[in-house]
Structure 1
């Protein structure tokens, strides 16, 4: 099944008809994103993003950075996002080869604004990572901007703001939140 088929599967008509997007349409996209990440289907996951997409993980001490000026853990455009996928799919990502088992849990999905070209969405997340007898967790809030494209919704902006004040015991973010 292609990403287009997955993201335009029979859900509320709002995502494809140009009308108001329903929360169920947004939840379907975010749950699909979580599933693709957990199944390490990263090439398909990257297709959920627009060509001008931005993916940001701020440092723990500065949740609202200016990525061009402030330190962030991740600041990927589509090109860097695809390079990250290539690296994680290869043996070069030593922290993730063999792949960790992850579980992305998404909750409290809210549509904040859909008055313009983009749909502002927030959600909470907990991501569990299991590898080599260890389990790490990441907890926080997602901020998304979605856009109608290719007959469905695509992600043009994602920011994963972590609630933890330190990255211990994980020490680093080696997976895609």
Structure 2
């Protein structure tokens, strides 16, 4: 698959599919959308733009193995932070295909993730940045960075779900 033929609509459909899997807590299926050597990042709210996960605080800085383990843990009934599971709704907007070469593509979108659990509602807002590759003729995420556009995690105090 030559990613130069990728259209903004295909990227949009892919991101909507990703959001639907997360909303349905189909985390193993969601994990399959990412490459084995993927990276998933969520920088801290006050991390300067462009700062790396090796020199600055990130809430999440997972490689493929750690992300797979996170998914396994979140799916267990013994995961006290997410049992019973939160009701979540991922809203994606302003999808942009930023660039595409034969091998990779970059895209971005804005997001709002609503989380309802134990009588509380948390709202996470921000921007996703993606780096895509083709694996076996299918689009896959090699890197996802979810930057929260919030001053702090208050009143939430935590991120125990995939934003």
- TM-score, normalized by length of structure 1? 0.88
State the alpha-carbon separation in 2 of the partners of residues 176 and 32 from structure 1: 14
Of 90-99 and 77-86, more deviation after overlay is shown by 90-99
Alignment match of 2:95 (pick from 100, 104, 109): 109
Instruction: Give the number of the structure whose residues are more often strand, by fraction.
Output: 2
Residue 58 of structure 1 contacts residue 64 of structure 1 at CA under 8 Å; is this kept in 2? Answer: no
- 1:165 alignment partner in structure 2: 151
- 1:150 alignment partner in structure 2: 136
Q: What CA deviation, in whole Å up to 9, does each residue of 1:92-135 have, x standing for no partner? A: 32111010000000000001111352101010000000011110
**2:12 matched to 1:21?**
no
Q: What CA deviation, in whole Å up to 9, does each residue of 1:60-82 have, x standing for no partner? A: 00143211221110001110011
State the alpha-carbon separation in 1 of the partners of residues 46 and 89 from structure 2: 25
Quote the offset at 1:42 in angstroms: 0.5
- Report which structure shows greater RCO (CA 8 Å, sep ≥6): 2
State the alpha-carbon separation in 2 of the partners of residues 148 and 25 from structure 1: 13
- 2:77 alignment partner in structure 1: 91
SS where residue 6 of structure 2 aligns?
coil
State the alpha-carbon separation in 2 of the partners of residues 89 and 96 from structure 1: 8
Q: How does 1:73-84 map to 2 (within 5 A)?
A: 73-84=59-70
User: Structure 2 unaligned runs (5+)?
Assistant: none
> How many residues are matched?
162
- 1:13 alignment partner in structure 2: none
- 2:35 alignment partner in structure 1: 50
User: Structure 1 unaligned runs (5+)?
Assistant: 1-15
Residue 65 of structure 1 contacts residue 72 of structure 1 at CA under 8 Å; is this kept in 2? Answer: no
- 2:51 alignment partner in structure 1: 65
